[in-house]
Amino acid sequence: MEGSTLSDAPFVDASAAPWKELSKGVKRQILSYGPDLMLVRVAFEPGGIGALHHHPHRQATYVAAGSFEVTVGESNKTLRTGDTFFAASEVPHAVKALEEGMLIDCFTPARTDFLD
């Protein structure tokens, strides 16, 4: 179970938060969240893919490590550590890890679909 309630606990100890494998070489950890804001991180092995998808939630993503080929709508760009992307509501987006890496994804509202 990744999480069960819309907690707004003040602190999350990442070493105690469970990881969920999403696909080969890609796993997600739910960190802090409340009803209208959720922060998760996604770890990628080289070549790991977040397939093209869309959702009503707005998403801002920070490259915490590594480099990624990123698609947002009709645009493509290679992002490196420190760079970010933004996906407005229902705008398709995808990522491919060019090396081992980590993304910090922020959503509004919270991705309640991530909660078991």
- Dist CA 55 CA 81 (whole Å): 25
From CA 89, how far away is CA 54, in angstroms rounded?
8
Position 114 contacts a copy of itself (CB under 8 A): no
Please list the residues that pair with 21 across neighbouring strands: 27
Interactions with a copy of itself, residue window 26-65 (CB under 8 A) = 31-34, 36-39, 41, 58-62, 64
Q: Is 48 helix (H, G, I), strand (E, B) or coil?
A: coil
Q: What is the closest distance, in whole angstroms, from the C-beta atom of residue 3 to a copy of itself in the complex?
A: 13
Q: Does residue 114 contact residue 40 with C-beta atoms inside 8 Å?
A: yes
Q: Report if residue 6 touches a copy of itself, rule: CB under 8 A.
A: no
Write out the residues near a copy of itself by the rule CB under 8 A.
Answer: 8-15, 31-34, 36-39, 41, 58-62, 64, 70, 72-73, 75, 77, 79, 82-88, 91, 104, 106-108
